[in-house]
Structure 1
């Protein structure tokens, strides 16, 4: 099949592409590369007016004339590639704002995609209308919006999520749902809000390329290395503040037993290699399931503090703290759990092996690609 993947978050579409190509399909990705992470894409879109004088100009123009220069520029780029965006057997949007333009422009771009491709699917991955409103109604016990509810960050800093609850984005959401053949969730944080939705096709576990992510045996005979990777723009949203506090306590209590590595905003190729020597990786707090960074770390045999709620344990039929550690927004709990691992290094070795086996059995990229193909084909041929 000829497949178009629109957008990229955390390397999901790249890994899916690798699996689909192994199965003999032709795949094209169009997108931005996910900001500073700079993932490879086949058709590269650029997001200008993000810094300095150009950003100031953009803000002034929007204030005076309600004209969004970023969206206008992306629309121009899109128009130069239209001949490469037609007649695909399957098209998948990474989420409801895959082109990162304002709703009015997004609709125009999607109108072209819908009119020139028969089978378009939506991936619920990242913030969207359904997941944000589910979180706003506090149906999760905690979510990425928890720091917002607790006034840790301003409403402005949460615009990337809260915009999906506005009328313009609700209209965009309804337009997309009307035109796509079905919706797929990338993990439980998006699966749970979509349950019972008539267009929901099911969860397709994130594809992880374990052929390129090599497992290395954990040596726990020396200092335990703890890795904390920070995305500065999502410091509170990921719960990094809890990890920072916990690490300060651990460093004081066990200076001879641990080495702590903290990095900020590393491009993907640097990030994935920087944590190679780590035993433990601190990923995120406000999640029920693992995102891509956590899964790739687990593939390398790291003990990852991430989303591993009871819903996830039940879904995959695994026992608590045997595959990944459920990170909670509680410093005392994080310190206690880190200490348990530091003082029981053999447990780190066991979880490391379990994590790799779990990724191979539940997230292997070729199996995941087959799962997507099954979901697409089932609806496409209906």
Structure 2
């Protein structure tokens, strides 16, 4: 089969591609690289001109500050349109999101129509902010979610522009059009499965594929000092609860001194980010989640203890009886307590790291997950 994957935000589509290729399918990935993360793809619609020098960047920022229009979206659209002649004769296309092209919604619909003329089997992946997901979170039926900081302080609204944009009529129209014109929808974890189900959509969960063959398990041999890593993406700083981690780390540093080493990086490209957390024993990923995002899964595959979403819904779904990660809560004292326990009981770090790796191999193996996608697409 010849399969087209459009969009990349985390490495999910790259790993899925590797799984499908291992199953003898031909796969082409088209993406923008997702800004500073710079994820690889076969074809790119990255805004190269707009970001080519200081003058264009300054102009871009000025236009955005005055109009809220991101002129990168124009270049994304033009570059994707020019790629369309290369994107025919595929057996299936999957979009990573309704905004997979990172352009204006009406332009997205125009380009999707053009693409769908030649690709009759289509799917939409729900693995991040999406119209029904945000609609459900706004009901405030969950004890907490990525929108909790916004509910607690409405002055933070600008920090939530990206999730809240999916409630705008133009983005809603695009999602509804795709829901009608894609044969299937799937979700990547519990944070999307539950909202989609409760909003009345059939979107079964297929766990994020992780290429375990590219991510070797790293047995922990030296825990003096315990190395704690925090990676910060300023674009999601508030909605991922990073301030709670920062406050907890400040207290841990005072409490344990040279028994711990704290490493923090900010807005790093994917490859640089991976290198920076290699030496860590504990990785602080995100708060306000029920399940793990992609960075957390890759860290777990390496055998690290990850503070992330590991809720009761998650443990029940996978029938887990022991922790494979630490469920991170928006509570500084709780985070300090959990970190302190691990620092004072280093054998627990090794044990949980081994369980984390075993869990990834069992539930997130890229070939197994690729087979699940093929079944969902009925290919």
> TM-score, normalised to structure 1's length?
0.93
Unaligned runs of 5+ in 1: none
1:236 and 1:197, CA in 2 relative to 1: closer, same or farther beyond 3 A?
closer
1:302-329 per-residue CA deviation (whole Å, 9 max, x = no partner) reads: 0000000000000011135x21000000
Q: 2:315: which partner in 1? A: 313
Within 5 Å, give how 1:354-369 maps onto structure 2. Answer: 354-369=355-370
1:260-310 per-residue CA deviation (whole Å, 9 max, x = no partner) reads: 111111111111121111110000001100000000000000000000000
Displacement after TM superposition at 1:152 (Å): 7.2
Within 5 Å, give how 1:101-116 maps onto structure 2. Answer: 101-116=103-118
CA distance in 1, matches of 2:348, 2:331: 22
Q: Does 1:52 align with 2:57?
A: yes
Q: 1:144: which partner in 2? A: 146
Within 5 Å, give how 1:209-224 maps onto structure 2. Answer: 209-224=211-226
Shifted more, 33-42 versus 293-302: the winner is 33-42
CA distance in 1, matches of 2:235, 2:333: 25
Q: 1:235: which partner in 2? A: 237
Shifted more, 104-113 versus 150-159: the winner is 150-159
1:29 and 1:223, CA in 2 relative to 1: closer, same or farther beyond 3 A?
same
> TM-score, normalised to structure 2's length?
0.94
Partner secondary structure for residue 334 of structure 1: helix
Within 5 Å, give how 1:331-350 maps onto structure 2. Answer: 331-350=332-351
Q: 2:277: which partner in 1? A: 275
CA distance in 1, matches of 2:311, 2:93: 32
CA distance in 1, matches of 2:198, 2:329: 28
Partner secondary structure for residue 191 of structure 2: helix
Shifted more, 196-205 versus 304-313: the winner is 196-205
Displacement after TM superposition at 1:189 (Å): 0.5
CA distance in 1, matches of 2:81, 2:223: 58
Q: 2:37: which partner in 1? A: 37
CA distance in 2, matches of 1:57, 1:277: 40
Q: 2:305: which partner in 1? A: 303
Partner secondary structure for residue 122 of structure 1: strand
Displacement after TM superposition at 1:139 (Å): 2.2
Displacement after TM superposition at 1:149 (Å): 1.2
1:11-65 per-residue CA deviation (whole Å, 9 max, x = no partner) reads: 00000000100000000011111211111011111236467332146448958xx
Displacement after TM superposition at 1:115 (Å): 1.6
Q: 2:171: which partner in 1? A: 169
CA distance in 1, matches of 2:247, 2:222: 24
Unaligned runs of 5+ in 2: none
1:77 and 1:174, CA in 2 relative to 1: closer, same or farther beyond 3 A?
same
Q: 1:204: which partner in 2? A: 206
Q: Verify the 8 A CA contact 2:96 2:125 in the aligned structure 1.
A: yes
CA distance in 2, matches of 1:124, 1:155: 23
Q: Verify the 8 A CA contact 2:4 2:90 in the aligned structure 1.
A: yes
Q: 2:253: which partner in 1? A: 251
Partner secondary structure for residue 254 of structure 1: helix
CA distance in 2, matches of 1:61, 1:243: 33
1:174 and 1:280, CA in 2 relative to 1: closer, same or farther beyond 3 A?
same
CA distance in 1, matches of 2:189, 2:25: 24
1:132-182 per-residue CA deviation (whole Å, 9 max, x = no partner) reads: 111111122111111111227632221111111111111111111110001
